[in-house]
Amino acid sequence: MASTSTLTRRQLIRTTGLGIGVAATGLALSGCSLLPETTPGAALLTSAVPLPAPFGVPLPILPRAQPTSRNAGTDVYDITARPGVAEILPGVPTPVWGYDGSFPGPTIVAERDRTVLLRLHTELPVPTVLHLHGGATPADSDGFPTDFLVPEGWTGQHTHPAGDVAVGTREYRYPNRQQAASLWYHDHRMDFTGPQVWRGLFGSYLIHDPAEDALGLPTGEHDIPLLVCDRAFGADGSLAYPSLDRTLSSVAGVEEPYAGGVLGDVVLVNGAPWPELDVTARRYRFRILNASNARQFRFELDPPVAPIVQVGSDCGLLAEPVAHTALPVSPAERYDVVIDFGGLAAGTTVELRNGLGSGPTAQVMRFRVTGAAADDSRVLARLADVEPLDPAKASTARRLAFARTSGQWTINGAPFDPSRPDATPRLRQLETWTITSDGDHPVHVHSAPFQVVDRTGGLAATDRGWKDTVAVGPAQTVTIVTRFPEFRGRFVAHCHNLEHEDMMMMATIEVL
Ligand code: C2O
Ligand code: CU
Ligand code: CU
């Protein structure tokens, strides 16, 4: 399968590495005869259980996690990752793995500059790792994929050399020294993140700060996280996932047709299929997260009664709001939006649809207006100061090629190797990363919020603000400017299509 030219390119990249291979990778990438082997796309898994009609269940409002204790600067949480049973489809019990047994987990609400000490306990039958996605977190709390937490008495074997292993309980310390933002937390176990998140190991994590509170955006019951994901169900109501090893204990990977990503035919919002939310005729703030393994959405309102007004991106508020008629969202991206139902008559229904789906996956959820309401919220024309990062001031330029090479998902031709640092950025130094892609790769960098400064065909309306995940499309080149602001140590950057990630599309970043 590997042509001579492919081999040459891989050897070149191997010997030059991620950080210093600028010339070599740049050259190789410009020759299109060297570009890939066929890249498998994500494949649809079809449910065997009868599916409910849409809009038959209310949108679940996810419970807020309660701290075990609070002291001067810290909120302590005890959360247990464990098997549970959820009623996701009405009347159908579904075994899940969840934080506190629920699908999705409880919402953690943090305040800027107050530490969250999360004591994660596990009763799962396999190792787990916890990652706060979008968090500025010390390396030992960031959830490096081989820093496993295993249950008491576990006798299994790790599929990779383990890093720092904890038994029963592990403490993760989140300093929250960052602006208000909609983050999320999820499993990050080496080789098995896809199936473990699919089973329910994810939840919402919000940071508030006084500057945001002063803006007058909708709050309280009018500020609602929407965790959107696709799933598929077996005939017995279980979550279907095409793992080679259904016990997730020793063999990594998925059945071949799904190597490009697993798609489901059921769209869940906050763990409910195609739900409905009663709203009053006023503004609402929605924290949209695409928690799917591989599915991309393009959210649209039908009828288009109001623009989808974006106020925040992955890592915080935008400088100014941006009105969208369609909002494309790749896996792991967050869009903080305001929708104004003001002026709509009671009984009006508005669908949130997915312009990239077909049949059941074109539907997402529905809003139903119940009546008029007072509204003292507002969306100011100026939301936050966003310091623009200047690519001209960068001291290092890296190139990262996300591509399928020799049947593997790779970055610069190499599959993930936790023991090999692929890039060694220096703390607080500005860098540009030029990312190329052979398909759809939502590229995520831990520990370093970035700004998108260039994209083939021009910047998208969704490229603004502080991002931690950027969608890079087929044959696209995207340039980001970044710096690792606070913590030294070992982190990762990876594709957030979880099947690509599990199949090694990940790099080790050692911050010096
Ligand atoms: Cu949301 Cu490394 O991931
Ligand atoms: Cu992350
Ligand atoms: Cu990918």
State which of 213, 233, 257 marks the end of a domain: 213
Residues 241 and 342 in one domain: yes
Taking the centre of ligand 2 as the mean of its atom positions, its distance from the CA of residue 315, in whole angstroms, is 11
Is residue 440 predicted with pLDDT exceeding 70?
yes
Among protein residues, the one whose CA lies closest to atom 1 of ligand 1: 133
Which pLDDT score, from 0 to 100, does residue 37 have? 55
Residues 10 and 104 in one domain: no
Give the chain's mean pLDDT: 92
Residues 231 and 341 in one domain: yes
Residues 268 and 285 in one domain: yes
- Tokens 């610069």 sit on residue: 412
The answer to whether residue 61 is domain-embedded is: no
The answer to whether residue 341 is domain-embedded is: yes
Mean pLDDT of 447-472: 97
Taking the centre of ligand 3 as the mean of its atom positions, its distance from the CA of residue 416, in whole angstroms, is 13
Residues 308 and 412 in one domain: no
The answer to whether residue 53 is domain-embedded is: no
Output the DSSP codes for 388-422: PP-GGG-SEEEEEEEEEETTEEEETTB---TTSEE
The answer to whether residue 55 is domain-embedded is: no
Residues 406 and 331 in one domain: no
Are 119 and 168 contacting, i.e. CB atoms less than 8 angstroms apart? no
Mean pLDDT of 116-145: 98
- How sure is the predictor about 406, in pLDDT bands with cuts at 50, 70 and 90? confident
- Distance, in Å, from the CA atom of 358 to the CA atom of 454, rounded to the nearest integer, reads 31
pLDDT in tens, 7-54: 233 333 332 333 333 333 333 333 333 444 566 899 999 999 999 999
Taking the centre of ligand 3 as the mean of its atom positions, its distance from the CA of residue 438, in whole angstroms, is 9
Which pLDDT score, from 0 to 100, does residue 40 have? 80
- Distance, in Å, from the CA atom of 424 to the CA atom of 117, rounded to the nearest integer, reads 28
Are 471 and 495 contacting, i.e. CB atoms less than 8 angstroms apart? no
Range of the domain at 488: 4-39+386-511
Mean pLDDT of 450-458: 97
Q: Which residue has better confidence, 241 or 159?
A: 241
The answer to whether residue 140 is domain-embedded is: yes
Ligand 1 pocket, CB under 6 A: 131, 133, 186, 188, 332, 444, 446, 492, 494, 496
Q: Which residues contact 23 (CB under 8 A, 6 or more apart)?
A: none
Residues 260 and 164 in one domain: no
Residues 105 and 123 in one domain: yes
* Ligand closest to the CA atom of residue 507: 1
pLDDT in tens, 292-333: 999 999 999 999 999 999 999 999 999 999 999 999 999 999
C-alpha torsion 317→321→324→330, nearest 10 = -10
State which of 213, 240, 260 marks the end of a domain: 213
Residues 240 and 318 in one domain: yes
Taking the centre of ligand 3 as the mean of its atom positions, its distance from the CA of residue 503, in whole angstroms, is 9
Q: Residue 420: which CATH number?
A: 2.60.40.420
> Other C-beta atoms within 10 Å of 19: how many?
18
Which pLDDT score, from 0 to 100, does residue 471 have? 98
Mean pLDDT of 187-212: 98
Are 281 and 371 contacting, i.e. CB atoms less than 8 angstroms apart? yes
Which pLDDT score, from 0 to 100, does residue 407 have? 86
Q: Which atom of ligand 1 is nearest to the CA of 494?
A: 2
Among protein residues, the one whose CA lies closest to atom 3 of ligand 1: 133
The answer to whether residue 135 is domain-embedded is: yes
The answer to whether residue 166 is domain-embedded is: yes
Written as six digits, the tokens of 284 are 């609402």
Mean pLDDT of 157-180: 96
Which pLDDT score, from 0 to 100, does residue 368 have? 98
- Tokens 């052979």 sit on residue: 438
Which pLDDT score, from 0 to 100, does residue 38 have? 64
Written as six digits, the tokens of 416 are 């993930």
Which residues sit opposite 266 in a β-bridge? 231
Domain count for the chain, please give it.
3
- Closest by CA position to 502, among listed 329, 332, 251: 251
Query: Which residues place a Cβ less than 5 A from the ion ligand 3?
Result: 441, 495, 497, 500
Distances in whole angstroms, Cα of residue 417 to Cα of each of 15, 21, 355, 505: 15, 18, 37, 10
- Closest by CA position to 510, among listed 435, 389, 418, 432: 418
Identity of residue 381: A
Kindly provide the residue ranges of all beta strands, DSSP E only, lying in 331-449, ordered along the sequence.
Answer: 334-340, 349-354, 363-372, 396-405, 408-411, 421-423, 431-437, 441-445
Q: What percent of the chain has pLDDT over 70?
A: 92
State which of 372, 401, 424 marks the end of a domain: 372
Mean pLDDT of 91-107: 98
- Distance, in Å, from the CA atom of 183 to the CA atom of 342, rounded to the nearest integer, reads 28
Taking the centre of ligand 2 as the mean of its atom positions, its distance from the CA of residue 298, in whole angstroms, is 22
Q: What percent of the chain has pLDDT over 90?
A: 91
Written as six digits, the tokens of 16 are 């030059």
Helix (H) or strand (E) holding 18: helix 4-20
pLDDT in tens, 352-372: 999 999 999 999 999 999 999
Are 419 and 413 contacting, i.e. CB atoms less than 8 angstroms apart? no
Q: Which residue has better confidence, 407 or 61?
A: 61
Q: Which atom of ligand 1 is nearest to the CA of 501?
A: 2
> Other C-beta atoms within 10 Å of 265: how many?
18
Residues 255 and 279 in one domain: yes
The answer to whether residue 45 is domain-embedded is: no
Residues 141 and 255 in one domain: no
Please give the angle made by the CA atoms of 447, 14 and 243, to the nearest 5 degrees. 65
Residues 198 and 264 in one domain: no
